[in-house]
Structure 1
Amino acid sequence: MSVTERSNAAAPTAFGAASAASTLSEAVVVHRNPLLRAGLVAALSPFFRARDGAESQPAAASVPERPPLIVADHEGALAMLAASATQPRRGGMAPAHWLVIGPVSHGGRVRDAMSAGVLGYVHAACSVEELRDAARAVAAGRRYLCRTAAGLIAEGWLGDDLTPREHDVLRMLCTGLDNKSIGQRLGVAPGTVKTHVKTLLQKLGARSRTQAATEALRRGLIEGSAMDDPFPLPPDCGAWAAPPVKSRGARANPAP
C-alpha cells in the first residue's frame, strides 16, 4: 500500500474519532480535593469531554447542546447550587446535572443534596465502573444513588412518620435534657413528654434514650449542629424551676 493510500485509509478513522468526541457530553469536575479531582477527570475522560473546573475555563460563551455534568463534593455542590439559584439562566439552557462524590455519613446529608437539586450521590470509595455508571445516568437526567446512600435514605424515611412535636422532643432528648426540662421548654407536663419519649423509642427501635439519640444521629433525623439546646427556658417559667440543690447536712434558710 502506498503512502497516499495509507493516508486516505487512516483519514476516516481520525475523522470518526473527532466526530465521536464532539458528541460526548461535557463533564466539569469541581471537587475541592485536588487529588480526587484529577482522578475523576481521568476516569471520566473516555466517556465525557471531562475537564478540571479549577484549572480551566469554558471553551466558549455558546450554549452547549446538552446540560453539562458537574461533579463536586457535598459542600461545594450545595454552595454553588445556592449561588446559581439567584443568577439568570443563559439562553434558556436547562440546569446542569449534578453528581456528588464524597463520604456518605448519614441520610440527612443525601436528602439535603437531593432537595437542593443534586441528581446523583456516590461514595468516594466507589469503583471506577460505578462512577461511570452514575455519571452516565446523571448526565442523562436520571437519579443515581450508590448502595450506601440508598440504604441511608431508606432508613431515614422514619423521619416522615414523626410528628412535629416528636421532632422537638427528639432534638432536646439528643441534647441530654430530661423529661422535666423538656416539658419546661415546650410548656407541657413531664408525663406528656414521657409519652412522646416512649413513642420515639418504639419508632427508633431503641431501648434507651442514649440509644435513641445515637440512632437519630446515625439516620440523619437530627443534625450534629442541632445538639445545642434549640429551646431555651422561657422567661416566665419560675413556677417550673427546680429548687436549688442543698449540700448534705445544710439547713434551709427560713422563708422571709
Structure 2
Amino acid sequence: MIRSYMFVPADSPRKLEKSIESEADALILDLEDSVAASQKSEARTCLDAFLAQRRREIRKHLYVRVNDLESGATLDDLAIVMQHRPDGIVLPKSTSAEDVRQLGHYLDAFEAVYPRNGSLAKILPIVTETSSSLFRLHSYKDVSPRLVALMWGAEDLAADIGAVRRKANGRWMGAFAHARALCLIAAANAGVQAVDAISAEITDMQSVEEEAREAREDGFSAKAAIHPGQLRPINQVFTPSEEELAWARRIVAAFDAGDGVATLDGKMVDRPHLRLAERLLSSERS
C-alpha cells in the first residue's frame, strides 16, 4: 500500500535527482501546476532526459501528472512519458469518470506502441478541483481497471468557487471539508484508495503529522506531499502499529472460528470490523 505520494516539478533536474533518494512511497513527476505555462516544452524535455537516464534506478512507484484534458497538452505529455513506462498517470481537474475513460483510451494506444508485459498503467485522478466535479463523484465506480485511487485537492477548487480562505484554525472551511468528505466516500464506493490533499506546511512537521493523523482516522489511506520533509510524519502515521495489526489478526481469527458475527474480549464484532481488519492486514502485505 502506498502511504505517501510526493509531487516533484518536472522542470527541475536537481529536484528530480533528489526525489529518487526521498522517503516517498510514490513519486508524482509533475508537468502541470508546478511548471509555468511558458516552460511546458522545456519541462517535457527535462523529464524525458531524466527518465531516459534514471528510470531503471527508480525503486518507487512512478507516476506522472500530465496537463488536464482541456489544456490541449495531454497527448504531448503522454508522447514523452509513456515510452518510459511509468506505473501510472495522475489526471488533474478530472470532472467525472468520462475523463478517466478518455485517458484510458489514450493509454491503450500508447501501450500498443510501448508494451508493458501485460500490466496496465494506472490512473489516479484528482477529483475535486472544479465545482462541477463534485456532482459526479459517484461516477468513478467500475469505470476502468486502471483506476487505482482518488485524490482530492483544494487549490484549484478555491479559484473555481472564488474562495479567499480555505482553512480557519487549522480546519478546512465548509466547501473544502465537503469536497474532502465526498472524495473519501467516492473512493470507498469505487473500491480504490483515498488520497488526502497536500499540506502547505513545509517547516511545521507537527502540523503535517496532525493533518495526516486526522486523514487516516477519517478513512484516507495515503497523503500527498510537496516537500521531502513531510514524508517521514506521513509515512509514520499511515503505517499500522503492531497493536493495530495484532487486533486485526485476532478479528480475522475470531471470524474464522464463527459465522456472521464473532466475540472478542467479551464484545460482539461483526462484518464491518472484519473489513477494517482485512484492510489493515492488506496494508501490511503490500
| TM-score, length basis structure 2 | 0.26
Which is bigger in relative contact order (C-alpha 8 A, separation at least 6)?
Answer: 2
Choose between structure 1 and 2: higher strand proportion: 2
Larger radius of gyration: 1
| TM-score, length basis structure 1 | 0.28
